[in-house]
Amino acid sequence: MKKSPLQIARQSYQPKMPAALLGQVVLREGQATQSVADQEEIKALFPNTYGMPVITLDAAINGRPNTTPVNVGVILSGGQAPGGHNVICGLFDGLKKINPKNKLYGFLGGPSGLVEGRYQELTADIIDEYRNTGGFDIIGSGRTKLEEEWQFDKGIEVCKQLGVNAIVIIGGDDSNTNACVLAEYYLQKNTGIQVIGCPKTIDGDLKNEMIETSFGFDTACKVYSELVGNIQRDANSAKKYWHFIRLMGRSASHIALECALQSQPNICIISEEVEANNMTLQDIVNQIAEVVAARAAAGQNFGTVLIPEGLIEFIPAMRRLIQELNDLLADNEEFVAMEGDDAKREYIKTMLTPMSCELYRSLPKAIAKQLTMDRDPHGNVQVSLIETEKLLIEMVGKKLAQMKGAGTYVGKFATQHHFFGYEGRCAIPSNFDADYCYSLGQTATQLIVAGKSGYMAVVRNLTAPAAEWIAGGVPITMMMNMEKRNGKMKPVIQKALVDLNGKPFKYLAEHRKDWASANSKYVYPGPVQYYGPTEVCDQPTRTLLLENA
Ligand code: FBP
C-alpha cells in the first residue's frame, strides 16, 4: 500500500506514556466505590462488580513479570475515533512485554465479531502497519449491541475455543455499559473471562469525575477547528457569505463548543442552553437574524454560525415531535410498505397530535422527511442525517426578508452550508490522542494481568506532561445510574452534556457578544501539527485546559 511521507514518519513515532507505566507496575487500590446514583438498584443488578475500588497504577520497585500467558480479544465498537489503533498497539506492546507468549485477537466488525466468532490474531507485522494511524480498519467496527444472554453465551463459546481470558471493549457510554453487563455475567457464570472497557468517542460525552475526556475528541475537534478557521479566513477575505456549519457530536454540544473556543466564530449555538432556556426554533432564528442584521448595518454581510448536530432534539416542541415519530415509526410495517414521499407525509400528518402536526407541516419538506428516516439501533433518530444548517438558513432568510420589509435590516444574505463529521473521525491522531490511546492500551493490559474485570481503563491528569499522567482503572458501576431506555428503566453510564456552569461554556458566554460584533475576533487554528514545539504539537483541547485549570 502506498503511503504518504507523513504516514511513513508517523509509523516510527513513539507515543509518550505516564512514567509509572514504563517499567514494572504495581496496583494500588483505593476505597470501595458506589454508583453516582440509584445505588441500591445498581448494586442489586451487579452483585459481583459493584463497589470495587478505584485502581491506580504505580511504578513498582521490585516488580515481577507475569509469567502465565494470557490471550486477549479486542473489540472496536461504534463510530470511529482517532487513536483507536493506538489503543490496540498499546495493548499489544503491553501484553508482549509482560510475556511474549501472550496473544491478542481482534474480533472483526465490532461486537458482532465476538458473537459470530469472526476474529484475527493480531501479530507484530499487522500491528506495525497501524501504529499512530487514524481509522478503525485494523479490525473494523460495528454498532451491534451486546445485551442479550444468548450473545454473551456465544461469546463464551468463542472465547473458550480461542483460549481468550479477557475481552477489551473500546467504545462509548453504551458500549461500556454493555461491557460491564458482560463482565458481571461472566463473573456470575464463573467463566474466567474478564472484560475491560476503554473510553472512546469523538463526541466527548463520555466524561465524568473519573474520566477527563474520551479519546478522539482532541483530534476530531482540531480537524474541524482548522476547517472552521479556514472558512472564517475565506469569509473575511471575500466578505460575501454567511457560513452555517453543523458539527457532529450527537446530543452533546461539546464539539461545537470546543471548535468555538478554538476559532471564535460569530455565533455558536449550544443545544443544552437552548433546552435550559426553553427556546423555540423561531427564538434561535431570531437571535441569528439579529446578529446578521447588526453586522450588516456595519457593512459586514458575512459571518460564521456553528450548529451542534443534536440541536433539533433540544428544542422542546421538536423533541415532542421526534418522540411521537419514534413511537409511530417503531416497527411500523404499514409505513415502510407505503410508496412515495407524499403518501408517507399525508399518513404521518393524520397520526400526529395537532401541535406536532402543525410543527411538522411548517418544516421544509426535506427536513420533515429526514425526521422520518431509519432510526439507529437504540431507536433514536439519526441526528447526523438531519440538515439543521439548511433549515436554519431557510428560516433566517425568511426572517431577514420580514425585517427588510419592516426597515430593520439592510444587507445581503448569501449563504454556504457545511457539515463536518466524517472528515475528522479517522484523522491521523494528534500527539495527544496518539499518546493518550497508547497509554490506555497499556493500562488495560495491566488491569487484565492483575485479573480485574468490570473496570474501565483510565488515564488522568491529562493537562500535565504525559510523563505525569496517572493511569488506572475505574469500576464501571461507579459511573452508572438508572435511566429510561425504550420504555424500561436500565442501568447506564451517565452521558455528559455541556455543563452550563462549567468553565468552557462560561468562557463562550463571556466572549460571544464580542465575537459576534462587526469587529470579528476570528482565530485560525491551522492544521494539526505532529512535529515541532510542544506548545504547538502537544496542546490538549481548550475544554480540557479550562476544566483542569
Ligand atoms: P459514537 O457515539 O459511536 O462514538 O459515534 C459518534 C458519531 O460520530 C456521532 O457524532 C454521529 O452522530 C454518529 O457517530 C454517526 O453515526 P454513523 O457513523 O453510524 O453515521
Read off the amino acid at residue 532. G
Q: Which comes out higher in pLDDT, residue 78 or 65?
A: 78
pLDDT, residue 379, reads 67
pLDDT, residue 378, reads 64
CA distance 61 to 23: 9
Instruction: Using pLDDT thresholds of 50, 70 and 90, give the confidence band for residue 65.
Output: low
Lowest mean pLDDT among 26-40, 45-59, 425-439, 474-488: 474-488
Cα-to-centroid distance, 433 and ligand 1 (Å): 18
Helix (H) or strand (E) holding 97: helix 84-98
| For residues 478-501, average pLDDT | 91
Name the residue of 250, 383, 386, 420 whose CB sits within 8 Å of the most ligand 1 atoms, as the mutation to test its pocket. 250
CA distance 90 to 93: 5
pLDDT, residue 544, reads 98
CA distance 114 to 148: 13
pLDDT, residue 342, reads 87
Q: What are phi and psi of 105, to 5 degrees?
A: -110, 145
Q: Yes or no: say if 268 and 512 are a contact pair by the CB < 8 Å rule.
A: yes
Q: What are phi and psi of 451, to 5 degrees?
A: 80, 15
CA distance 540 to 212: 11
Q: Yes or no: say if 452 and 426 are a contact pair by the CB < 8 Å rule.
A: no
Lowest mean pLDDT among 154-158, 375-379, 542-546: 375-379
Nearest CA to ligand 1 atom 10: 249
Contacts of 488 (CB under 8 A, 6+ apart): none
Burial 419-451 (b: 16+ CB within 10 A, else e): bbbeebbbbbbbbbbbbbbbbbbbbbbbbbbbe
Cα-to-centroid distance, 79 and ligand 1 (Å): 5
Q: Which comes out higher in pLDDT, residue 515 or 338?
A: 515
What does pLDDT average to over the chain? 94
pLDDT, residue 383, reads 78
Q: Is the pLDDT of residue 486 over 80?
A: no
Q: Which comes out higher in pLDDT, residue 376 or 48?
A: 48
CA distance 509 to 503: 10
Cell numbers given for 126: 499487522
CA distance 192 to 472: 22
pLDDT, residue 28, reads 96
Q: Is the pLDDT of residue 66 over 80?
A: no
Tell me the C-alpha to C-alpha distance, in Å, between residue 245 and each of 316, 421, 423, 440, 512.
22, 11, 13, 32, 17
Nearest CA to ligand 1 atom 8: 79
- pLDDT single digits (tens) 413-472: 999 999 999 999 999 999 999 999 999 999 999 999 999 999 999 999 999 999 999 999
Instruction: Using pLDDT thresholds of 50, 70 and 90, give the confidence band for residue 176.
Output: very high
Q: Is the pLDDT of residue 64 over 70?
A: no
Task: Single out the residue of 198, 201, 197 nearest to residue 183, CA to CA.
Answer: 197
Q: Yes or no: say if 39 and 4 are a contact pair by the CB < 8 Å rule.
A: no
Q: Which comes out higher in pLDDT, residue 370 or 33?
A: 33
Q: Is the pLDDT of residue 373 over 90?
A: no
| For residues 472-497, average pLDDT | 91
pTM of the full predicted structure? 0.95
- pLDDT single digits (tens) 319-330: 899 889 888 887
Cell numbers given for 108: 472483526
Burial class (CB in 10 A: 0-12, 13-18, 19+), 353: exposed
Cα-to-centroid distance, 143 and ligand 1 (Å): 10
- Write out residues with Cβ below 6 Å of ligand 1: 78-79, 81, 172, 201-203, 248-250, 309, 383-384, 421, 425
Cell numbers given for 252: 452533546
| For residues 516-523, average pLDDT | 96
Q: Which comes out higher in pLDDT, residue 337 or 6?
A: 6
DSSP per residue over 498-527, as a string? --TTSHHHHHHHHHHHHHHSSS-------S
Q: Yes or no: say if 167 and 77 are a contact pair by the CB < 8 Å rule.
A: no
pLDDT, residue 127, reads 98
Partner residues linked to 480 by β-bridges = 493
Could you say which of 93, 174, 203, 433 is catalytic? 203
Burial class (CB in 10 A: 0-12, 13-18, 19+), 325: buried
Q: Which comes out higher in pLDDT, residue 408 or 342?
A: 408
- pLDDT single digits (tens) 106-158: 999 999 999 999 999 999 999 999 999 999 999 999 999 888 999 999 999 99
- pLDDT single digits (tens) 182-201: 999 999 999 999 999 999 99
User: What is the 3-class SS of 241-277, one letter each residue?
Assistant: CEEEEEECCCCCCHHHHHHHHHHCCCEECCHHHHHHC
For residue 435, indicate whether it is catalytic. Answer: no
